A = this chain, B = another copy of it.
């Protein structure tokens, strides 16, 4: 469970991150009697439980690891590999841009493996709610497991439905579509979103962006932003400080837009052009 405790020591039921030499990185859901197998040896959960967070532990072959509490970004990174293109940089930006925080009521589709669902559930807190739509049962099952592992399952209402038929909620604060064709569902989005509410989506190709821009105007959305985030890491060496050699060049284009109330012929005049 994420944030299950403010104990200084590792407890059964906690999610722990084992970070080893170089890149080794393991998320572990701690249960008495179990063990974790790494490339650098085995560690027993029983030997980890009770240790202070942030201490060094050793595998049966003597390889050192640090045991740390993972952040929500660490968790997203480790569930990332399945289907999706959303990285912590995009998730952090969309959460803050769309005003998602404690108490927010948010719709998401599709659920996928639940990477974004985890972050949204974490951010809306105990007073908010995430409605997560998915039509593939096996994906939903995987996402449910991932959310339960974090202890966040009560904040998410999973729906095994095709959003073609609309959303069952009204007046939600924000809707994010992580689908290849968000442009097909904007009337449905409009019906479920509160007036002035935020719509967001992420799209890999410029062709998809174009189609979505056309449909946003047709469906009386305004104040649309299209952007992309590039994250560049540096080698953390004080006497040889330089960017890493390679980087992720593209995950997707982010689009944000707002549902406005009144139809307006010259809505394009309102487009903010940011630099």
A166 close to chain B: CB less than 8 A: no
**Closest CB in chain B relative to A250 CB, distance in Å:** 4
User: Which of A241, A249, A264, A275 counts the most B-chain CB atoms under 10 A from its CB?
Assistant: A249
Copies in the complex: 4
Interface string of A87-99 (1 = CB under 8 A from B): 0110111111111
Q: Is A237 a contact of B213 with CB atoms below 8 Å?
A: yes
A261 touches B52 (CB 8 A): yes
With A226-B233, A245-B250, A272-B22 given, is the CB distance from A125 to B102 under 8 Å?
yes
The interface residues of chain B lying within 8 Å CB-to-CB of A194 are: 8, 53-54
Asked if A27 is at the interface (CB within 8 A of a chain B CB), the reply is no
A19 within 8 A of B: yes
**Contact sample, A vs B, 9 pairs, CB 8 Å cutoff:** A19-B223, A19-B272, A21-B270, A54-B259, A76-B96, A207-B239, A227-B232, A228-B231, A244-B250
Interface residues of A (CB under 8 A from B): 3, 6, 8, 19-23, 25, 52-56, 64, 66-74, 76, 88-89, 91-99, 101-103, 119, 122-127, 171, 194-198, 204-207, 209-211, 213-214, 222-250, 253, 258-262, 264, 269-275
